[in-house]
Structure 1
Amino acid sequence: MIAAPASARPHTRGSLAAQLRQLGVRPGGVVLVHAAMRPLGFLCGGPEAVVLALRDVLGPDGTLVVPTHTPENSDPAGWSNPPVPEDWWPVIRAETPGFDPAVTPSRFMGVLAELVRTWPGARRSDHPQVSFAALGPAAERIVSDHSRVDMLGEGSPLARLYDLDADVLLLGVDHGSNTSLHLAEYRRPAPPRQRCGAAVLTGDGGREWVWWDDVRLDEEDFARLGTDLETTGAVRLGPVGDGTGRLMRQRAAVDFAVDWLARNRRTEES
């Protein structure tokens, strides 16, 4: 085992809860969390301590939400990190298991998101690429009826979070991981679009590959967008564990992003 640095200290469920309260997490509120554990330092109980601390602060009336995306369930023709040979594409489309919200693990979302997904009582949306899981009294309202088309737009959990005046909490990550900013992409005029595909379950217990048209998502400039958002004072920064927490009202972030994208990105018509 690698020894902890002399200046480090262990963080507990209680100490994390105190930091989250100080940051401004609202009792009874709804919070969408994006998290990386390593920057938070030594956690007594690991990601479980973070989930418990969040639930302690939110209380019984609060709802915790996480992204449980499955980006590998997508058209292999668009893969670049790494790409796969073209003669593999038909096999992948034919054999990838259909997305099952109860079974399919999330990918690249972090251990905290996976922990919430599997937590007793958690609910998960059924989108084959960009599902969300939620834990708390507003969970069903947030994750139900997740539209396959315009997957992070008005028929998505992101829009339900906007309706609920939810918060976004970034733990140990920056705005490059702020999925809510994608909702602003859908609220632009004439955003570029692309063909998407994924494997889904069928009503008879089988699976099939489906196609749909959707907005071409692009988070490459989200870190810069987030830096500009922070200059407005809309984001509260504070310590969580050894790392930095960023807390914001989702509505404020999305509304700012709509204007920012209008100034900084071109549309297909411009």
Structure 2
Amino acid sequence: MAKTIFITGASRGFGKLWAEAFLKRGDKVVATARNPETLNDLVQKYGDAILPIQLDVNNREADFAAIARAKQHFGTIDVLINNAGYGLFGAIEETSEQEARDQIETNVFGLLWLTQAVIPVMRAQGYGHIIQLSSVLGVATLPVLGIYNASKFAVEALSETLAAEVKDFGINVSIVEPNGFATDWGGASAIHAQSMPEYQAVKAAFAEGATPDFFGVPEATSEAVLKLVDAENPPLRLFLGKVALPWVKQVYEQRLATWEEWQDVAAAAHGK
């Protein structure tokens, strides 16, 4: 059965790839972008099956209006994919106040407003699926992406909590955690803080670790997302890419070892 998918950040990258994958198989898609002209090719190809909406996700009022318009237009919203977001590159010390606020505003609050807007629609339907775009960097961190890491850790916590709160309404929540992919996420769509020479060494080490094998092929993700949307019991978390799981296993083994090493100190701090 065809679904109605509301997806943000559909102008390029994952958003546009996934929007077209849904359209190709006969789903209806509400696709949002800051510049809706970037969606003209999909409109010309798929006609009434796509509803393009100009949207800055940072505008809470506009987010609620977009959800209402989508519901009115197609009659239902089966899936919300909160894909809009961008990367902020820079060491913590390098990052300006405005850069940090803008990153959290888009990656966390934009996602939050749309989530809040769609819940009443899905609750009234008795079903729905909210898919939040996080990152492997919402589970483990890399240097020079500190505020981005923080935004995705926030998405993880928000979404895990949400899953428990809306389960009884028939609403599923999934957190998608891609490793690196060869999109323009680190290119035209990224923001770079003003560089300080003190961080050149750590940046060089970071760049050396970004080998070609680390980056997946964006087009290969579409099938996984279609399977996620179609799953009767979708997972709370889904990695995309082959790098994420081995890396996160290593990170968590190190965390557990540290917690175990300090357990006597931790237990004593309980006080009884």
TM range (shorter): 0.3 to 0.5
TM-score relative to the length of structure 1: 0.33
TM-score relative to the length of structure 2: 0.32
The structure showing larger relative contact order (alpha-carbon pairs under 8 Å, at least 6 residues apart) is 1
**Structure (1/2) with the larger strand percentage:** 1
